[in-house]
Structure formats: C-alpha cells, structure tokens
Structure 1
Amino acid sequence: MNAIKQEGKKSKLQVFDQLESEVRTYCRSFKTVFAKGSNAKLVDRDNREYIDFFAGAGALNYGHNNKRIRSKLVEYLLQDGITHSLDMATEAKEKFLLTFQNTILEPRGMKYKVMFPGPTGTNSVESALKIARKVTGRTNVVCFTNAFHGMSLGSLAATGNAYKRGGSGVPLTGTTFMPYDGYLGPLVDTTSLLEKMILDSGSGLDLPAAVILETLQGEGGLNGASDKWLRNLERICREHGILLIVDDVQMGCGRTGTFFSFEKSGIRPDIVCLSKSIGGYGLPMAITLLRPEHDIWNPGEHNGTFRGNNLGFVAATEALHYWSNDELEKQIDAHAKTISAFLNRMASRYSGKISEIRGKGLIQGLVFKNPEEASKLCGVCFDKGLIMETSGPSDEVAKLMPPLTIEASVLKEGLNKLEAALQQLFAPAKPGELLQTKSS
C-alpha cells in the first residue's frame, strides 16, 4: 500500500487504476477524486468545484446531500432506527408506503400494489418481466430499438445496445425487438407494424406476455415517444391481453417534468418500474408497481437481501414531500424552458456540427453529426468545471441532466460553461443555416 501511495503522487487515480476492476467507466471520463457535494455542485480533493449536469445518472434528482433529506436520515440513525430488515414490517417502510399512496398514487387516481424487488433498477425490471410471464403464462416480451433496461440477463435481453449485450457471455433470449417511435422516420407509426405482426399468424412473432418501454429513452439517445404512439401501444396491449410495462427508472421521479414520465399521455401501465431517485438521497432503492389483479406472487417467489433498505425508505419519504404541491413541478418547467432556449441557440449557431436537440424536462441534449464530437465536448466541459455525459448508440448525444433542485443561478453558470466549451471546440457556424429539431 505504501508503494501505491507513493505512486499516487503521480496520478490522482493511481489507487483506482491499480486496485479496481477494468470495468469502471465514469472515472475514465471524470479524472479526479471527488470529496464533497452540495445540491448541483461537487468539489474534488484539490478543492476544485464542478457543476453537476449528470446527477448520478438520474439518481440525484434532489441533489447531493439534500439538507431536508439528510436531516431526516441523521435523526433516524441517532434514534437507532432499523437499517436492514429484508421484507419485515418496519415503521420506516410503513411511512413510505402511506406517503407514496397519499402523495403520488391517490392524487393521480392510480391503483397499484408496491413491490420491493431489490436495490436497483434492473431488480425492478427483472421482477416486472417475471410477473408478466407468470400472469399471462407466456414467455415472449416485446421491447424496442435503442432501449436500455439494465445489465442483468433478463433486463439485458430487452436492451438494444450491442456493446452492453456483448458482455452477457450467454445468448440473450425471450425478447423480440420492434422499432421505437420515430425509428423508421417521422411519418411511420411503428405500432402499426407491431399490430400487424400480432394479428398475422405467419409473422413468427409469439404473442407477447408484455411490452416494455421507456417513454423517453435515456441511454438510447433521448428518443421520445409521442403521446399518440403511447396510446396506440396501450390499445394494442389491451386488445390482445398483453401487459404494458413502463420502465421509469431514469425518467420517473420528475425527470421529464411530472412525477411519472407517462402522465400527460393518459396511459395506465400494468406495471411501472422505479429506482434511482425514488431513493431520494442516492440510496439504493427500487420499487415495482403492479395493478392489484396482477399481484399473484407466492410468498418469497421473488426476493432479495437488500429489498428492505430502511434508510432508503426514510429518504424517499421525505423526498416525496416535494410532490405534495406543484412548486417543484413549476421549477422544473422553468428550468426546462431555460435549457431548451439555450440549446436551440447553440444548435442554430453550430448547425454544421449539431443535427438536432432532443429530450424534455430536465433531460435534454445536443445530437452531433460526428458522434466523436459529443465526447470531445463533454471532455472540454469537464476541464471547465462542468460534468456531463453522452448517450445514444454511438455516444452522439451530449446530455444535460442536472438535479431538479438546481438553483437558477447555478444552472445559468453551467450553461455558460457549456457555451464556452462549444466556442472552444468550434468556430461559429455560417448565418442562415437551419436547425432541425425533434420534439419528444
């Protein structure tokens, strides 16, 4: 260890390079050692400050070290509150269930049973796939191009990215991919293809147990499904006894502007997957929402050691209070308009480099004609003290995903850093070049 410490003087990441697996990713892009965080800002151990437009890949919608949530956690710990409980009944879980019911489900007229499948998003997706197959007695699941649902085998089988699928080590089966909304161009309603294949006994498509989708594809490149497309998909599912699963792991908890990403479309999924920011404080937590008639599990048929993370319950309960009124939703809308206006200006200025903008709410991004330039931009942003990541099958989208609670002044400061990074990378575009935009 002494040798490692001495080498560490030459490289900030020497310990991680020598001792941590090669599978690590984000520390290769953000080459520093972070020490502190507060809302939308991070500080490394050299006391350099960064604005966070990454937010833990969507796990920190309420920011780093949210004071409201932290105080509840500290109070709970000092009172010797239960931390680990498997699926035993605890006061912390009871408070979460009641708060979720009263603050989220009842005001939206939703009736779901809450399942705690384990601590991560892929746990929620795996449980959704399992119960859909159990309910219907069928095995095939329809998923969509450029989808991302997780890294365990069931969720990975429903994930489109070839690089991630290649790490499985075994054949990925039990799913059929169909084109997502817009995949075949703006004039083609791809739900018509799905419906035709379901109706045609010669299509080779086994009648699905479920259809699983993200209403806005995060890792897939910020591709958004229209409300009409979502309603058509729901109709097809209802007519053929197919369960509709919405993976809201990244887009839920307010990321797109409403608590659930699908609210404005009017659809009512059979199953909803939530994780990431449902834990409130970046704590591991996931839930699977099931229509009561689909809750046919036998006791212990799906379980996990860490499905009773009581610190997650405490943090989540306090975070849900942000949704007891419309203040946060209004703030998200205001910030989203600020970001959208800024991105449109940048895309117009650099129209020779940027093909379109995508996304909504507080997850929006610039699509680059040359995918490598999105990564280069994020690198320059990091050098200027702004943390961003890329998404899309070729990492062609530079993605903005700040905490929902970001202060307006900090948001503006971050956008100024992004503008400076674009200016450093590219000469101003010629006037009069048109911007192609895509609404989500």
Structure 2
Amino acid sequence: MDTFTRLESEVRGYCRGWPTVFTTAQGSHITDENGRRYLDFFAGAGSLNYGHNNPLLKQRLMDYLAGDSIVHSLDMYTAAKRDFLERFEEVVLKPRGLDYKVQFPGPAGNHSVEAALKLARKYTGRETVVSFTNAFHGMTLGALAVTGNSMKRTGAGVPLGHGVAMPYDNYLDGRTPDFLLFETMLEDSGSGLDKPAAVIVETVQGEGGINAATAEWLRGLAEVCRRHDMLLIVDDVQMGCGRTGAFFSFEQAGITPDIVCLSKSLSGYGLPFAVTLFRRGLDVWEPGEHNGTFRGFNPAFVTATAALEEYWTDGELAARTLAKGRLVEQGLNEIALLNADAVETVRGRGLAWGLVMKDPEAAPRVCAEAFGRGLLMETSGPEGEVVKLLPALTTSEEDLGRGLDIIAESVSAVAPTAVGV
C-alpha cells in the first residue's frame, strides 16, 4: 500500500474500508491481486447495474475501439451519438410518453445536476432552488448547495447560497401533514422564502440513508410544484437505469418531472456518462452556453446503446429486479428480527436497501466484518448508520442469498458491541 499512501491524497475514502488492491472483475465479483474473490454489493456506487465487464456490452465496446472509431468528440455529430439518441428515444422515451430533449453536460452526475440547476434558473429568471433534508446531489458548488450533509457542505470552503431545505417524506415521523411548512412558506410573503425556480428531489435518497419517498408524497410534491409554478427536477443519478425496477425511479409514482438527471449506470459499463433531460419547451440554451470537454465520450454511447437493446426492450429486467428486491427485503427483515437490539429498521426499494443500525458506529463495523468474509458494502446516512446494499441488477439469486448470509454473520458478530454488551 506504500505507493498509495505516499502519493495519493488523504481525500481517498473507499479504499480505507477495503484495504486490498483489486485487479479483475466479472459480473458480481471482484478479485484482488492475491487472488481473493469478493462478492460486490457496492456495484460502483450504483454505476454497474449490469455487473462488471458485462460480456454483452464488452463485445460491442471492443468492436467499436478495434475499428478506430471516434472516442472523443465534444458535441460534434458522431454515428455513436446518433445511435444512442435514436435508441434512447425508441426504447425509453416514447414508450413512456416523454417528450424530452437530451443534453450531454459532461461525464458525471454532478455535471447533470449543475446543468439542471442552471437551466431552471435561466428559464424561470429566479435563483432559489428547494431541496430536501438528507439530500445528496454531488460535490461541485451548485450541487453542494442543494445537498444536506454538513461534512460535505463544509468542504466547499465558501458560503453555499440560493438553496433552501425542506422536510423529506416522513422526516418528521408523520407529526405534520406533508408539505405544510413548504406551502405555508410559499404562500406567506413574510416567510423570507423567495419564490423558487425549482425543486430538486431524489425519489430514494441513496447517500442520505436509503430513504424511500412514497408514491403519494411524490405526487403531492409534483402538485405543489404545479400550483406554485416551480420546475420539478428528479435526480435519478443513482436510482435511475432500473435500480428501483422501472427504468426511471419516478415511474411508480406516475409523475412527469420537468427535468431529469441521469448518470452512473447510464453507460451500462462503468464508463463516465451523464445526460440532463428536460421538457422540450425548456430548451432555452444558447449554443455553447453550457459545455464541457468530455461531454461526447463515444465509447459510453456505444455501451449505453447496447444496454438499452439488451435489457430494456421488454419488461423482464424490471420484473426480475423487483423479485430479487423482495428476496433481499425478506432476508434483511429476518436479520433485523434476529438482531432487534442492534437493528433499527430495514428500508429500500427495488435493489437499493439499507439496514439501519441503532448505534451509528455499528454500521461501519458490520461492513468491515463483511469485507473480512468476502463481501463489499458501504455505509450511508447522516451519521453513517445505514449498511447500504446496491448489488448489480444481474446478480444471481444464489449470490444474493450468499451475500445475505454474510450480512447475517457480520451483524451477529457486531451486535453484542453495538448494544453495549
């Protein structure tokens, strides 16, 4: 590890919980340089919904590169971009009745969010954007301004303005009606809340602790936005591309956001790729007004197109994801029941799940125990109190069962210390 310790910044994070050097990966498994194989319930923080080195996508990529095809193109026209746009419209947009324009803002999720915020402000002529408690939208300044985590916000080093946080679904444990505070402030000229340009929301807060909003709450939020002439932005960076079952996580609620942010598993292969989708009438950009050097990464267009064709021309992947999600939920509930003194609750949707520990210090210990047993997981939540599961959607039921067994062993190993025994 000396090379990393000597040369790499102290900002490195995931490697501290998984102190080994990884070399190869396939499907739901990743192998280190000592030949030890790990089951991966992290999946690149949700960037590998179809698993590592998916062979159906890899062959398309290899063929593309072998033909000396375009790799870097900024926003020039390329055949790979055209193929992606046409298939995305045919496979994703048209079947869902979505008339969205597609913007390529840059290679990562925060680029999609920054473009969404900038477009909302440009279109409405307003500055304020409403976000929600425990939200996470990225580490650049605009995205941090609508992020809830105090540690990440402090890292900005400058004041983060033009954002206002409101309570997320069930944040107040049902003690007040949904949106009571929000609508009261919107309607009161003395509240100090400037009329917002937009509201940005995650349907399931991944980094915030796997907090899943109900369909009713999301529909209520969409209605608040409509009544008060605010744009609704759904950040689907981590929960989109099938993570909750449907391609978009908001489909279950039956809402149509004005703007959608997508990244992570959009390329299908772990390649950098992001888009910002928005209603056609919102396209008020001037040419070049928002740009980026790596917004035209053609290898990602190729693998994204392959993923659409291989997994989204029918409803089979969505159905399998929901079925596997039920297995995971059942397994976690059994673990919670057996360790009731240590586990607070289980929550999630699709194949995004969290085991909430009563003692926040227990969650990283559970993940450490799991790593020692050959399973990769991370923590989330404001205090790092949630053991977070994001297995690839292609993970076999056998591997899901094996992973749940390791989690059960890991929780049992930690539970006595978690409750002070």
Kept after mapping to 2: 8 A contact 1:138/1:207: yes
From 15, 20, 28, the equivalent of 2:8 is 20
Kept after mapping to 1: 8 A contact 2:74/2:292: yes
Distance 2:345 2:399 in 1: 25
From 77, 82, 104, the equivalent of 1:116 is 104
Secondary structure of 2:383 counterpart? coil
1:324 equivalenced with 2:310 (yes/no):
no
After superposition, where does 1:35-434 map in structure 2 within 5 Å?
Answer: 35-321=23-309, 322-426=311-415
Which stretch of structure 1 is more off in the superposition, 128-137 or 411-420?
411-420
Distance 2:134 2:184 in 1: 21
Taking only the aligned residue pairs, the percentage that are identical comes to 55
**How many residue pairs were aligned?**
418
Amino acid at match of 1:142: V
Secondary structure of 2:361 counterpart? helix
Distance 2:364 2:411 in 1: 12
Q: Deviations over 1:150-171 (max 9, x none)?
A: 0000000000000000110110
Q: Deviations over 1:363-394 (max 9, x none)?
A: 10110110000110000000000000000000
Kept after mapping to 1: 8 A contact 2:264/2:272: yes
What is the CA-CA distance between 1:415 and the residue it aligns to? 1.4
Secondary structure of 1:155 counterpart? helix
What is the CA-CA distance between 1:192 and the residue it aligns to? 2.2
Kept after mapping to 1: 8 A contact 2:352/2:388: yes
What is the CA-CA distance between 1:413 and the residue it aligns to? 1.4
Kept after mapping to 1: 8 A contact 2:332/2:404: no
List structure 1 runs of 4+ shifted beyond 4 angstroms.
none
Distance 1:77 1:164 in 2: 38
- Give the TM-score normalised by structure 2: 0.98
Q: How large is the Cα RMSD of the aligned pairs?
A: 1.3
The equivalent residue for 1:3 is none
Kept after mapping to 2: 8 A contact 1:184/1:190: no
What is the CA-CA distance between 1:351 and the residue it aligns to? 0.6
- Give the TM-score normalised by structure 1: 0.93
Structure 2 unmatched runs, 5+: none
Kept after mapping to 1: 8 A contact 2:105/2:115: yes
Q: Deviations over 1:187-244 (max 9, x none)?
A: 4333122111111111110000000010110000111111111111111111121100
Kept after mapping to 1: 8 A contact 2:42/2:378: yes
Distance 1:257 1:425 in 2: 32
Which stretch of structure 1 is more off in the superposition, 306-315 or 409-418?
409-418
Distance 1:243 1:301 in 2: 20
Secondary structure of 1:411 counterpart? helix
